[in-house]
């Protein structure tokens, strides 16, 4: 087997979305380079072993594992706590985003049923609802009159306290948020224009005071 196939095998295992059986690797190579290419499962195994010993020598942070169904890349154990930290951070972010989104929809649309909430979020909200109920940020305010009479949810006093609000009426209106939510650049530009206008205004005023026949450009 040609040495080039070692790299091709590496690329294929690397990019595959799933564990790759040796037979698939052979099929792919023959599919591109022709059926006459001589390559066996044993060749694949040897290539992987050779790749792994390269990785070992070069101190790479990963290696190719052979499991029942085929080959797969994995990072070495010694990095597990770093990787765990990174994935934990990611899932934390995802969860807190989901909690915030659920709470915001309840706050603005209350009282709201679970089906309504789910149709806005597009995902099942059981977990988030029970967590928010647990933390007493929301509670059940009754049942809707619609089919199935689902429970209605609304925010609590605890919710107001949490966000330091006197009443629900103090919540920003979606329209106001819309205005704030323009692109940063846009805001920056707007600020600049406003500042210029104010400065001009101030300049003009001072000029007006000193001499009254001074033409403003």
Partner 1 sequence: MSIYKIKLDHFEGPLDLLLFFIKRDELDIYDIPISKITKEFLEYVNLIKMLDLETAGDFILMASTLMRIKVRMLLPREVDERGGEIDPRNELVQALLEYKRYKELTDELSYMESNQRKLSFRGNFKEDFKVAPPEFDTLLKDITIFDLAKVFRIAIDNLKPEVTHEVKKINITIDEQIMYILDNLLKEAEVSFIKLVSDMHEKIRIVITFIALLELTKIGKIGLKISDGFNDFIIYKLEDGSNIQINN
How far apart are CB 145 and partner 1 at their closest, in Å? Answer: 16
In whole angstroms, how close is the CB of 2 to partner 1 at the nearest point? 22
Which entry of partner 1, a copy of itself, none binds 156, CB below 5 to 8 A by partner kind?
A: none
Q: Which of 53, 130, 146, 182 binds partner 1 (CB under 8 A)?
A: 130
User: CA-CA distance, 75 to 175, in Å (whole number)?
Assistant: 48
Q: What element of type H or E holds 66?
A: strand 62-67
| Closest distance of CB 204 from a copy of itself, Å | 25
Query: Mask 166-195, x = binds partner 1 (CB under 8 A)?
Result: -----xx-xxxxx-xx----xx--xx--xx
Task: Return the CA Rg of the chain.
Answer: 32
Site for partner 1 in 31-60 (CB under 8 A): none
Query: Nearest distance from residue 76's CB to partner 1, in Å?
Result: 8
Q: Are the C-beta atoms of 64 and 72 separated by less than 8 Å?
A: yes
Residues 71-110 that bind partner 1 (CB under 8 A): 72-75, 77, 79-80, 83-84, 87-88, 91-92, 94-101, 103-105, 107-108
25 close to 40: Cβ distance less than 8 angstroms = no
Q: How far apart are the C-alpha atoms of 75 and 207, rounded to whole Å?
A: 71
Which of these, 54, 50, 25, 51, lies nearest to 39 by C-alpha position?
25
CB of 156 to partner 1, least distance (A): 13
Contact 188, 196 (CB under 8 A): no
Opening angle at CA 131, ends 128 and 132, nearest 5: 85
Q: Which residues would be at the binding site for a copy of itself (CB under 8 A)?
A: 7-8, 10-12, 14-17, 20, 24-25, 27-29, 31-32, 54, 58-62, 73, 75-76, 79, 81-83, 85-87, 89, 111, 141-143, 152, 154, 178, 181-183, 186
Nearer to partner 1, 57 or 119 (CB): 119
The residue within the footprint of partner 1, chosen from 66, 114, 135, 154 (CB under 8 A), is 135
207 binds partner 1 (CB under 8 A): no
24 to 2, 20, 21: CA distances (angstroms): 18, 7, 5
Q: At what angle do helices 4-15 and 22-33 cross, to 10 degrees?
A: 120
Bond from prior residue into 111 cis (ω within 30 degrees of 0): yes
């Amino acid at each position: 087997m040609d040495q080039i196939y070692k790299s091709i095998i590496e690329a294929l295992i690397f990019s595959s979305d799933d564990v790759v059986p040796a037979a698939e690797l052979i099929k792919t190579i023959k599919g591109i380079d022709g059926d006459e290419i001589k390559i066996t499962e044993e060749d694949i195994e040897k290539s992987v072993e050779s790749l792994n010993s390269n990785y070992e020598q070069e101190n790479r942070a990963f290696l190719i594992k052979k499991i029942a169904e085929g080959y797969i890349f994995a990072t070495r154990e010694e990095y597990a706590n770093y990787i765990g930290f990174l994935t934990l951070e990611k899932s934390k972010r995802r969860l807190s985003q989901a909690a915030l989104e659920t709470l915001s929809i309840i706050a603005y649309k209350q009282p709201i049923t679970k089906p309504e909430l789910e149709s806005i979020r597009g995902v099942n909200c059981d977990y988030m609802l029970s967590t928010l109920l647990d933390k007493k940020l929301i509670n059940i305010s009754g049942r809707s009159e619609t089919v199935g009479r689902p429970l209605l949810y609304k925010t609590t006093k605890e919710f107001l306290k949490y966000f330091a609000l006197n009443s629900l009426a103090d919540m920003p209106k979606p329209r106001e948020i819309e205005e704030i939510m323009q692109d940063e650049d846009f805001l920056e530009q707007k600020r600049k224009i406003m500042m210029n206008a104010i400065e001009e205004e101030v300049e003009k005023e001072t000029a007006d005071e000193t001499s009254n026949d001074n033409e403003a450009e």
